[in-house]
C-alpha cells in the first residue's frame, strides 16, 4: 500500500546513537560552547557546563535505550512529552515558570530563566527572545527533552522541544519542495521516500519508537517499487515494469483502492503537505 505523503513526513517529537561522554579536552560544537563556560587553558579547550550535562544525559539515554523495548520506549516518550506540553503542562504552568535549578551556579540559573522567557514569548508568537538551545543537534535536543532526571527544568525541556520542532519543520519544507520537483520532472517520489527513510534512521531510538513498527520497511518497499505516478508503472530494478492494473490485481480490494487514489491524487497531496509543513509540528 502506498500511503499519503504527509504520513511519511510527520515526525513526532522525539535519537538512536548517544552523545558520548566528553572529556575536558574534547572538541565541542559552537552552539555548545556559546551556551556554557568553555574557554582555553594552556592550549586546550575546556568543556562547558551544558556539554557536561549533555554528556551525562547521553549516558542515561544510552542505558535507557539498551534496557527498554521499543514499546516501552514509546511509553517513556509519551510520559516525558506529557510533562512539557498539553493539558498537564498548562495545568502546572505557574509551577513550571517559577521552577529554578537546584544550584547556585549563576550560569544554570540564567539559562533556566532564559528558557522560561523564551517559551512564554514563543507561545504568544514572539520572536525577540533567544532559545538557549538553538543550534544543538537533534540528538542533543532529544537528550534534554526526554531527560526527566531533574537535570533540566521543565521549561528548559520545553525550549529544547521548540528547537527540535523548528529543525523538523525546516527539514520538512526542504524535503517536500524536493518532492514536488522530483514529481514534476520524473513522475516519481522515489528520492523523496529515500530522504524520509534516511531522516528516520538518523533519529534517536526514543523518537523512532513513536513511529509505526513497520515504518522503515514500508518506506523501503516504496523505494524498491520505484513507482511512476504518471505512467502508472512500477519501475523497480530487477523486475519488468509493472502497470497499475497489474498491481491492482495483486492487492487486496482495500489496498487496490488506496493505490488507485494515490496515483490520482499525488500532486495534490504534495501541494497540500508543503503548505501544512509550514505549521509547527507540536502544540505550543
What pLDDT, in 10s, does the model give residues 207-251? Answer: 999 999 999 999 999 999 999 988 888 888 655 555 544 544 555
Q: What is the pLDDT of residues 158-205, one digit of tens each?
A: 999 999 999 999 999 999 999 999 999 999 999 999 999 999 999 999
Residue 95, Cβ density class (10 Å: 0-12 exposed, 13-18 middle, ≥19 buried): exposed
CA dihedral angle for residue 205, residue 192, residue 181, residue 136, rounded to 10 degrees:
10
> What is the spatial distance between Cα 275 and Cα 272, in angstroms, rounded to a whole number?
5
Model confidence at 111: pLDDT above 90: yes
> What is the spatial distance between Cα 224 and Cα 265, in angstroms, rounded to a whole number?
21
| Residue 122 · residue 129 · CB < 8 Å | yes
> What is the spatial distance between Cα 270 and Cα 6, in angstroms, rounded to a whole number?
8
- pLDDT computed for residue 110 by the predictor: 95
- pLDDT computed for residue 276 by the predictor: 42
Q: What is the pLDDT of residues 246-270, one digit of tens each?
A: 544 555 565 555 555 555 454 444 4
> What is the spatial distance between Cα 53 and Cα 57, in angstroms, rounded to a whole number?
6
Q: What is the pLDDT of residues 75-91, one digit of tens each?
A: 999 999 999 999 999 99
> What is the spatial distance between Cα 262 and Cα 6, in angstroms, rounded to a whole number?
12
Q: Tell me how far the alpha carbon of residue 178 is from its chain's centroid.
A: 19
Mean pLDDT of 85-100: 96
Model confidence at 40: pLDDT above 50: no
Cell of 194: 529515500
Q: What is the pLDDT of residues 129-167, one digit of tens each?
A: 999 999 999 999 999 999 999 999 999 999 999 999 999
How does DSSP assign 8-69, residue by residue?
GT-------S------TTS---HHHHHHTT--EETTEEPPPHHHHHHHHHHHHHHHHHHHS-
> What is the spatial distance between Cα 8 and Cα 247, in angstroms, rounded to a whole number?
22
Percent of the chain with pLDDT over 70: 67
Amino acid at each position: 500500500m502506498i500511503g499519503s505523503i504527509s504520513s511519511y513526513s510527520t515526525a513526532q517529537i522525539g535519537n538512536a546513537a548517544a552523545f558520548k561522554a566528553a572529556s575536558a579536552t574534547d572538541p565541542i560544537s559552537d552552539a555548545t560552547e556559546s551556551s556554557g563556560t568553555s574557554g582555553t587553558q594552556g592550549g586546550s579547550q575546556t568543556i562547558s557546563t551544558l556539554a557536561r550535562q549533555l554528556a551525562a544525559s547521553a549516558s542515561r539515554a544510552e542505558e535507557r535505550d539498551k534496557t527498554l523495548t521499543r514499546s516501552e520506549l514509546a511509553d517513556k516518550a509519551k510520559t516525558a512529552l506529557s510533562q512539557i506540553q498539553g493539558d498537564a503542562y498548562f495545568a502546572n504552568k505557574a509551577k513550571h515558570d517559577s521552577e529554578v535549578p537546584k544550584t547556585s551556579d549563576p550560569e544554570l540559573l540564567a539559562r533556566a530563566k532564559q528558557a522560561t522567557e523564551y517559551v512564554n514569548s514563543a507561545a504568544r508568537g514572539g520572536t525577540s527572545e533567544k532559545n538557549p538551545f538553538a543550534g544543538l543537534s537533534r540528538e542533543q535536543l532529544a537528550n534534554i527533552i526526554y531527560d526527566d532526571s531533574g537535570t533540566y527544568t521543565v521549561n528548559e525541556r520545553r525550549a529544547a522541544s521548540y528547537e527540535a520542532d523548528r529543525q523538523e519543520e525546516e527539514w520538512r519544507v526542504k524535503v517536500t519542495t524536493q518532492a514536488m520537483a522530483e514529481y514534476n520532472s520524473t513522475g516519481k517520489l522515489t528520492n523523496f521516500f529515500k530522504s524520509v527513510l534516511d531522516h528516520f534512521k538518523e533519529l534517536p531510538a526514543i523518537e523512532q519508537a513513536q513511529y509505526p513498527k513497520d515504518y522503515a520497511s514500508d518506506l523501503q518497499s516504496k523505494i524498491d517499487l520505484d513507482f511512476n505516478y504518471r505512467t502508472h508503472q512500477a519501475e523497480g530494478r530487477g523486475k519488468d515494469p509493472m502497470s497499475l492494473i497489474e498491481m491492482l490485481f495483486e492487492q487486496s480490494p482495500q489496498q487496490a483502492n488506496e493505490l488507485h487514489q494515490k496515483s490520482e491524487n499525488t500532486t495534490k497531496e504534495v501541494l497540500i503537505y508543503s503548505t501544512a509543513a509550514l505549521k509547527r509540528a507540536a502544540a505550543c
